[in-house]
Structure 1
Amino acid sequence: MTKKEEGYILIFVFITLTSLGILLPVLLQLVSNEVIITKHYQQQIKNYYLVKGVMVVAKEEVSKQINKLSYISKENLDQLQIEGSIVLKDPNSSHQIKTEYLVKEIVDESSKLNLNLASQERLEELPEIGETISQRIVDHRLYNYLEELLNLSGIDNKLYEQIKDYLTLKTQGKINLNTAPIEVLNTLPGVGETLATRIIMNRIFTNIEELKDVEGVGPATYQQLEPLVKVDSNYFQILVRIKIPERELQTERLKIIKLD
């Protein structure tokens, strides 16, 4: 081997070692980052199943407490205090993990208008809707999610936030007389703000016929209202706060439940 060839080899070895010296820390960092990401992802999966398990328990407890009520009203739902702690098994080990939950809010879905079933005239009566937007809502049915309203011209985030609490996709269309707010009652045919206020003042209704006792509800008005209202409910939206102290995790989940 000539000295010239030896020189080339030395240069090649030098370049190789230099490259490895530069690349090795980078490769080690990439591997380290990948390990961290993988562990984080695995932890997220574990947390997901823990939260899901807590929601099952919370749902069962809410259903049990609502079924004990003699009647459904906003006041009764607001007064329910549902919280607890349960121990769940880690999905990938025998380790037991303590979890806590608190039901922060229960809302009767029958206190709202069904977005897919309500007439254009009734939608028009909701605050800030009007004739043009209500017609667009009807023209773009059927909806799978309330958020689809944001795809309609004229409905921005601000308007959506104003109207979303008056709308649902889960009921058969009838409104619960004992839980509907004045804005929803006001959409009923023959019911203006004055009569809606009287209906609220005459709660609790144990049956629909008690509407006849409300001043301003004559035979014609009652005939219009009778197929559109009810006094029971089976769909509810619950907001649950979940804590997993060991994981330093706190989150909130919103879920629609149906009573058996």
Structure 2
Amino acid sequence: MPALCNQHGFALIIVLGLLGGLLIMAMSLGAAVGTDLGQTRRFQDVTAAEFLAKGGIEWAIHYLTGVDAQGDLWRARWQDQPAVFRSHVLQPGVIEVSYVDSTGATRYGLQDEEARVNINTAPAALLAGLHGITPAIAEAIVAQRQQRLLATPEELVTLGIVSAATFYGTATDAGISQYLTTWGSGKINVNTAPKSVLAALPGMTPTMAEAIGRHRQGDDQQPGTADDRPFREVVTLLTVKGIDRAALTRFEALITVMPTTFRVIATGRVVSGQGVTSVHRQLAIIDRASRPTRIQHWRRLS
């Protein structure tokens, strides 16, 4: 993909320019105030790690732009592509875009925000179908958004709608945060949503959700491989055993096959000459439906 490579290069040139300017500023500051050289270098490393993480987000945006321009966004393996997103060396450190999936495995790529349930738009029946959300909690969420939309899923905790343990999970339960979002189109992407989310759709049975999962994983029944069979159109679900027109009608308005909003977790890592590692991780929500692409939300993770 020559165009994609050019876009990556453009993004990284921007990051290099920012890094260079910032490091010069750091050296000047250290000289001006007589700061210990070790402290100055530490500041440089910490700042460089931050800008490398920001570069990872820009890298992801330009990758998505290139894939989308080729019309392959719906089927590209952006969820796990180590060759694109794993440990790219960019002096003075390393950029990585990765996440930990529901099985505990590290994936190098992006997450589809429409694999989650949007608490600002989902009907109460869909919310209540998720593990950990009772009908009372679902109704409380609906009542809250009638007053004011939630800016982030974490507001469920700060507003007292759910406990921290219910949201973030415990040693034996992953918590409801893994299913929820406040970004994206509000529709559930049947190509990427876990079976637990699919099964929460009104009219969708666990058997149907299981059949959808088997279909999209292809013959080898492994996600993210060459024989995957993503759905090109919603109506294609009618080819899945157990789903007929009457069944599809019940949840058709709530689903999609096209990702528009992505979750990016980018890490910048710098190792100093003394072996001290500076790490900066950022989360960004990227909206590809807007033109130009827009970052809807971002925050530092560590």
After TM superposition, the score normalised by the length of structure 1 is: 0.71
Contact between 2:49 and 2:279, CA under 8 Å: does it hold in 1?
Answer: no
Map 1:99-114 onto structure 2 (within 5 A): 99-105=93-99, 106-114=110-118
Map 1:50-61 onto structure 2 (within 5 A): 50-51=51-52, 53-61=54-62
CA distance in 2, matches of 1:257, 1:144: 15
Unaligned 5+ residue runs, structure 2? 1-34, 100-109, 169-174, 217-229, 294-302
State the shift of 1:235 in Å: 0.8
Deviates more, 1:178-187 or 1:248-257: 248-257
Decide which of 167, 186, 189 is 2:180's aligned counterpart: 167
State the shift of 1:182 in Å: 0.9
State the shift of 1:140 in Å: 1.2
Question: For the aligned residues, what is the CA RMSD?
Answer: 3.0
**Residue aligning to 1:125:** 129
**Residue aligning to 2:7:** none
CA distance in 2, matches of 1:253, 1:71: 23
The structure with more radius of gyration: 1
State the shift of 1:153 in Å: 4.1
| Paired residue type of 1:121 | A
Distance 1:177 1:139, change over 3 A: same
Distance 1:131 1:152, change over 3 A: farther
Q: Does 1:235 align with 2:229?
A: no
Map 1:166-245 onto structure 2 (within 5 A): 166-203=179-216, 204-245=230-271
State the shift of 1:102 in Å: 0.9
Unaligned 5+ residue runs, structure 1? 1-34, 88-97
CA distance in 2, matches of 1:189, 1:74: 29
Note the alpha carbon deviations across 1:33-60, whole angstroms, 9 max, x for none: xx78x97997699458634642443333
**Residue aligning to 2:285:** 256
CA distance in 1, matches of 2:144, 2:206: 29
Distance 1:40 1:80, change over 3 A: closer
Deviates more, 1:220-229 or 1:56-65: 56-65
**Residue aligning to 1:23:** none
Q: Between Structure 1 and Structure 2, which shows a larger proportion of helix residues?
A: 1
Percentage of matched positions with identical amino acids:
25
Contact between 2:156 and 2:162, CA under 8 Å: does it hold in 1?
Answer: yes
Contact between 1:186 and 1:193, CA under 8 Å: does it hold in 2?
Answer: yes
Contact between 1:211 and 1:217, CA under 8 Å: does it hold in 2?
Answer: yes
CA distance in 2, matches of 1:66, 1:77: 13
